[in-house]
Amino acid sequence: MKNFALIFAFAASVVPALALPTVDDSDIKPPYPMGQVGWVGRLSKDGPTETIWADSLEDVDAVVKAKKPGLSIFDGSMDAFNNAIVSERSVTEIHSRGLEKRERYCNNFGQVSAMAVNDGISHLRGVNAGCSVAARQCIRTTCDGGAAIVLCNNNYNAITVPCGDIANMAQDINRNCMWAPSESCSLFGCNPPIYEVSGQEFADGGYNVIIGNCYAFSAGGQPV
**pLDDT by residue (tens digit) across 175-224?**
999 987 766 777 777 877 789 999 999 998 899 999 999 988 876 654 33
Look at the chain and report how many structural domains it folds into: 1
Pair 131, 93: CB distance under 8 Å: no
Pair 81, 45: CB distance under 8 Å: yes
pLDDT on residue 198: 95
Query: Is 20 a member of any domain?
Result: no
Rounded to an integer, what distance in angstroms lies between the CA atom of residue 38 and that of residue 134? Answer: 8
Domain, as residue range, for 174: 2-11+28-221
Query: Is 189 a member of any domain?
Result: yes
pTM assigned to the model: 0.78
Measure the CA angle with vertex 66, ends 131 and 52; round to 5°.
25
Query: Is 191 a member of any domain?
Result: yes
**pLDDT by residue (tens digit) across 14-23?**
333 333 334 4
Rounded to an integer, what distance in angstroms lies between the CA atom of residue 196 and that of residue 214? Answer: 14
Query: Is 18 a member of any domain?
Result: no
pLDDT on residue 93: 46
Give, for 148, the enclosing helix (H) or strand (E): strand 147-153
